[in-house]
Amino acid sequence: MSLVDLPLLPLGKGRDLDAERGVECPGDLPAASDPDLVARARAAKEALGERVFVLGHHYQRDEVIQFADVTGDSFKLARDAAARPAAEFIVFCGVHFMAESADILTSPSQQVVLPDLAAGCSMADMARLRQVEDAWDAMADAGIQDSVVPVTYMNSSADIKAFCGRNGGVVCTSSNADVALDWAFAQKADLGEGAKVLFLPDQHLGRNTAVLQMGIGLDECVVWDPLQPGGGLTADELRKARMILWKGHCSVHGRFSEDVVDELRVKHPGINVLVHPECKHEVVLKADLVGSTEFIIKTIEAAEPGTVWAIGTELNLVKRLADAHPDKTIVFLDRNVCYCSTMNRIDLPHLVWALESLVAGTVVNRISVDPDTEADALVALQRMLDLPGKSHRD
């Protein structure tokens, strides 16, 4: 068996019946679309010229990413779009919350298009505004609301970002969550250990950052379950907590498990395990390195030839890294071939339809955040942009 055969071996085959909505485990990545569409996408993009700017998230399919003017994580892409004011149309190959952020950060004259409106995010869907407002009211009833600063991960809907803007909170990314938590606790510095953060919507990023980077105890983290009365917590538990973690997670990163890490360490002695902080705390504890998608890419680019890596992030990115670095062995950290099914809804047919519609003068699937939500969300985003320095992790 050659090294070239190795990378996708641990992927396994077959359908995973336990996969959550938002994940598909069919045994392979989706088949490529009709190759004739490549020429049509190219022609439509050329016809639009500088009027269109195509953004491609790292987890997108190869057939789509080839048409991206820029690739990156959600925040980098939104900023890149804002830096291209000449582009009338921003075609966002990503998911809904990312297109919303691009709309918030770009000028009113720029129109953001999401090629398939069904490209949502199961994590973002786990925190709805009504649920978060109910939790906030319950914190007032428990007498702690004045001690809490809400912090939301970029992977949340615009109205959750707006909630944070209205209530003294901030947005963070997986690269700067530690800096955002520092900032949030500093807002209530007069309360000392009484200061609290409500972290939305990803409990794993919140817990990993608080415990591993801020030195907060696991026993000082509680989980607010929006499906339970009172979040499933007593007033006393709320009062004692420093981190109130929303019960949300990424259906893709939440799949990675400690036993696969153990298995791969036996199979490939000396393997380096590199995971995203959206993974479960137990998995992160077993990993060698943890960081954002940008951190994962930089780490692999800088790795020595001949080194062996197991990567716990979305499959399209892992596969692309394996293809781009044949001098290193790169394996996926799941036994099954699982990918983000909502991200993968953006395929070539949808991209061609969006681009050709623009050429014909019709803006399809425009994502437009209402002005009040946009104004409040921008407050929380601006607080993030104003955060000092770089993350400890970068």
The least distance separating ligand SF4 from the CB of residue 339, rounded to whole angstroms, comes to 9
The answer to whether residue 122 forms part of the interface with ligand SF4 (CB under 6 A) is yes
Residues in the chain: 394
d(CA 355, CA 52): 9
Out of 64, 90, 121, 245, the only residue in the binding site for ligand SF4 (CB under 6 A) is 121
CA dihedral 202, 83, 59, 21 (to 10 degrees): 50
Q: 286-289, long-range: CB within 8 Å, 24+ apart, which pairs?
A: 286/258, 286/261, 286/262, 287/261, 287/312
d(CA 25, CA 341): 9
The answer to whether residue 252 forms part of the interface with ligand SF4 (CB under 6 A) is yes
Identity of the residue, 185 or 332, whose beta carbon is nearer to ligand SF4 in the bound complex = 332
The answer to whether residue 251 forms part of the interface with ligand SF4 (CB under 6 A) is yes
DSSP for 218-257? GGGEEEE-TTSGGGG--HHHHHH-SEEEES---TTGGG--
Cα→Cα distances 201→12, 150, 205, 226, Å = 31, 10, 9, 11
88 to 107, contacts with ligand SF4 by CB under 6 A?
95
Identity of the residue, 48 or 104, whose beta carbon is nearer to ligand SF4 in the bound complex = 104
d(CA 154, CA 149): 16
d(CA 260, CA 203): 22
d(CA 227, CA 3): 47
The answer to whether residue 201 forms part of the interface with ligand SF4 (CB under 6 A) is no
Specify the stretch interacting with ligand SF4 by CB under 6 A; choose among 30-38, 132-140, 216-224, 244-252.
244-252
The answer to whether residue 72 forms part of the interface with ligand SF4 (CB under 6 A) is no
Out of 151, 340, 355, 358, the only residue in the binding site for ligand SF4 (CB under 6 A) is 340
Q: Which of 235, 234, 233, 196 shows the shortest CA–CA distance to 216?
A: 196
284 to 323, contacts with ligand SF4 by CB under 6 A?
314
Out of 7, 10, 22, 115, the only residue in the binding site for ligand SF4 (CB under 6 A) is 22
The least distance separating ligand SF4 from the CB of residue 3, rounded to whole angstroms, comes to 28
> Would strands 272-275 and 221-224 be described as parallel, antiparallel, or unpaired?
unpaired
Specify the stretch interacting with ligand SF4 by CB under 6 A; choose among 182-190, 282-290, 336-344, 380-388.
336-344
Counting residues that bind ligand SF4 (by CB under 6 A) gives: 14
Identity of the residue, 44 or 340, whose beta carbon is nearer to ligand SF4 in the bound complex = 340
Specify the stretch interacting with ligand SF4 by CB under 6 A; choose among 118-126, 179-187, 227-235, 238-246.
118-126
- The binding site for ligand SF4 (CB under 6 A) comprises 22, 59, 95, 121-123, 155, 250-252, 314, 340, 342-343
